Amino acid sequence: QWGLNTKWIGQHLYHYPQVESTQDIVHQLAKEGKPHGTVVIADEQVKGKGRMAREWHSPEGKGVWMSILLRPDLPPVQAPQLTLLTATVLANVMDKRSALVPSIKWPNDILVHHKKVAGILTEMQAEQDRIQYVVLGIGINVNQEDGEIPSMIAHKASSLKMESGEKWDIQEFVQSILSTFEKTYDSFIEEGFQEIKQEWERYGYKIGEKVTISTMRRDFKATLLGIEADGALLAKDEQGEMEKLYSAEIHWGEG
Ligand code: BTN
């Protein structure tokens, strides 16, 4: 049904009409020993999870709700690179398939016209200094119409259809994501992070621009410079001091 022409990703692919969360299913499959590249896709999630314990609204047939099992032979400190890699894959695929110009808001939200259309949730299981496995969750709002985005977030979230005016074929979209993911991942393992970093910065939202950053300690204005290999955001404040940020909120526009 999915007609994938990939080497390893999606060789084990499970497709469900309705699940609580594809993340939980992949954790289960990982514990059963399923291989690197196993994929779970659902038409609908009734308990979709976002980052920071937020809910991820995943209505039936309206988006890509998918989780990928990875078993990389990497130290846990490199796990953030997999999230950044995934963001570049999503941006690339959207860029190629439409006139939309996607950008990546640090750490890993995909925006179109300043609104979030996709998010990534990375969950890792590590033992000593090795990653045991990673569950990479991808959520993309694809075919929601006006009024189908929860009103609480409607001012800052959208769907590809709302932004492009076109309906998207979800199955085709998943195929391109998986095949682009496989190529990008393989070259990352071969060549390292440098290429991903450049790609990320090419799509990076407000890179080179001045924004307001809130951290636990303070709010300040700074110019965003790019990302570091450990996933940190690099910024330069108005006093010319460099800041490496691991956890922060970026604001833009007025204020
Ligand atoms: C975010 O907060 O931006 C991340 C959202 C991740 C949502 C996806 S949808 C597929 C997978 N299953 C989940 O429950 N969450 C992720």
Q: Which ipTM did the prediction report?
A: 0.99
Neighbours of 180 (CB within 10 A): 18
Peptide bond into 102 cis (omega under 30): no
Ligand 1 atom at shortest distance from the alpha carbon of 48: 14
What are the domain boundaries of the chain?
Answer: 13-203, 210-251
CATH code of the region 210-251: 2.30.30.100
DSSP 44: E
Token pair belonging to 236: 């330069």
Q: pLDDT tier at 32 (50, 70, 90 boundaries)?
A: very high
Ligand 1 centroid to residue 186 C-alpha, Å: 23
DSSP 49: B
pLDDT tens by residue, 173-221:
999 999 999 999 999 999 999 999 999 999 999 999 999 999 999 999 9
- Confidence (pLDDT) at 253: 59
**Dihedral angle computed from the Cα positions of residues 193, 199, 205 and 211, in that order, rounded to the nearest 10 degrees:** 50
Ligand 1 centroid to residue 187 C-alpha, Å: 25
Q: List ligand 1's pocket residues with C-beta within 6 A.
A: 21-23, 45, 48-51, 54, 56, 58, 65-67, 109, 119-121, 137-139
Residue matched to tokens 């750490």 = 107
Ligand 1 centroid to residue 139 C-alpha, Å: 5
CATH topology of domain 13-203: BirA Bifunctional Protein; domain 2 (3.30.930)
- Confidence (pLDDT) at 3: 85
Does the pLDDT value for residue 254 go beyond 50? no
Does the pLDDT value for residue 244 go beyond 80? yes
Q: pLDDT tier at 251 (50, 70, 90 boundaries)?
A: confident
Per the confidence metrics, is the pTM higher than 0.90? Answer: yes
Ligand 1 centroid to residue 243 C-alpha, Å: 29
Ligand 1 atom at shortest distance from the alpha carbon of 23: 12
For ligand 1, atom 3, which residue shows the shortest CA distance?
A: 119
229: nearest Cα among 123, 101, 75, 68: 75
Question: Which residue stretches of 143-221 are H helix?
Answer: 160-164, 170-191, 194-203
Say if CB 161 and CB 62 are below 8 A apart. Answer: no
- Confidence (pLDDT) at 98: 85
